[in-house]
A = this chain, B = another copy of it.
Amino acid sequence: MPVNKPKIVVLGAGYGGLMTVTRLTKQLGTNDADITLVNKHNYHYETTWLHEASAGTLHHDRCRYQIKDVINSSRVNFVQATVESIDKEAKKVVTSDGELSYDYLVVALGAVPETFGIAGLKEYAFSISNINSARQLREHIELQFATYNTEAEKRPERLTIVVGGAGFTGIEFLGELGNRVPELCKEYDIDQKDVRIICVEAAPTALPGFDPELIDYAMNYLQGKGVEFKIGTAIKECTSEGIIVGKDDDTEEIKAETVVWAAGVRGNPIVEAAGFENMRGRVKVSPDLRVPENDDVFIIGDCSLIINEEINRPYPPTAQIAMQQGETVAKNLAALVKGGSLESFKPDIKGTVASLGEHDAVGVAFGKKLQGTKASAMKKIIDNRSLFMVGGPGLVLKKGKFKFF
């Protein structure tokens, strides 16, 4: 019987962590290593679909699946626990369910919202971060609509939704709201003219990094659905009553019972607390995805930072990159365990498509600009592809986005 099998611990069952584990069980034999996966929930969720669950256009159960359904349970020890800290010197992880020691660690703990120090956002704004926050936001919006007609004096702020950020998540959420709001108006006997959806973006453009033609298309489409844009406008403060925008003395209050912060993410604070050199929780990893000073620790996904050398700027954290990193990490761990050389990670950006609700989208795929139904179809292919990568055709059939009739 083999002794002293190396212990591989993977933290997080998001896109990166889950891909690492599913590929690892294919790369390594039973006797090569002990593999442990730690995750807060017993399910994986599709982070890139949460804007739909948050708006209420797709049920949250459609955005998640049981981890046990996609991992090989005879090969992977799954621990449902919250990671509390990493002790890289002692090579230990402290979880809510006890300590785990490791020989190799994969940190794939994902992102948390970045509020840039704006007062009140943490207290009063909703976020599109996980299943819990998504369904809370969905229900919060619905309660505002349900309450509107119970009040003798109508309060327009009940029907005012502010979305902070016109980046990828903000735009996709607005697209879903465009479809959801008419449903809510019908459900609660509300005239849609009484509803306001306001998107506030501090940057000089929506969808930074997108082609101007696609940005125009997206904004026109959303304006047609009733969205008002305030581009180049900073949120100064979020309060229990709404937001304050503007600069210095030239400020304006927008009363809104619903403020959604969708303007940015940062790496997990556990990465910072562990003492890895980082920028906002993201660690600039070596080409083989290890921490430069800790060659037993891989960091991938939203907690990793890799540079796009063509433009000398970091790649944005995406599911696409996290999954590709997971594949590389699995290969590199196999090389460390069984011998061999580690490969360098090179992202293969197949495309980026932002949906504008169920039937429209904008983006680039395989080098081609897309908008309208073609982009929407491509978006669904991308969504289904991530299911396929982790769970094969069975998972696509179970959770995929398509209609049979």
Which residues of A line the B interface, CB within 8 A? 132-133, 135-136, 138-140, 142-143, 146-147, 149-150, 187-188
Contacts and interface: CB of A to CB of B under 8 A. Distances in A.
Given A133-B150, A139-B146, 11 more contacts: A132-B150, A135-B146, A136-B143, A136-B147, A136-B150, A138-B146, A139-B139, A139-B142, A140-B143, A140-B146, A142-B143
| Central interface residue in A140, A143, A187, by most chain B CB within 10 Å | A143
Contacts of A149: 132
A109 to B, nearest CB: 16
A139 B149 CA distance: 13
Contacts of A188: 135
A208 B139 CA distance: 37
A121 to B, nearest CB: 15
| Central interface residue in A138, A146, A187, by most chain B CB within 10 Å | A146
Contacts of A135: 146, 187-188
21 contacts: A132-B149, A132-B150, A133-B150, A135-B146, A135-B187, A135-B188, A136-B143, A136-B146, A136-B147, A136-B150, A138-B146, A139-B139, A139-B142, A139-B143, A139-B146, A139-B147, A140-B143, A140-B146, A142-B142, A142-B143, A143-B143
A135 B133 CA distance: 22
Contacts of A140: 143, 146
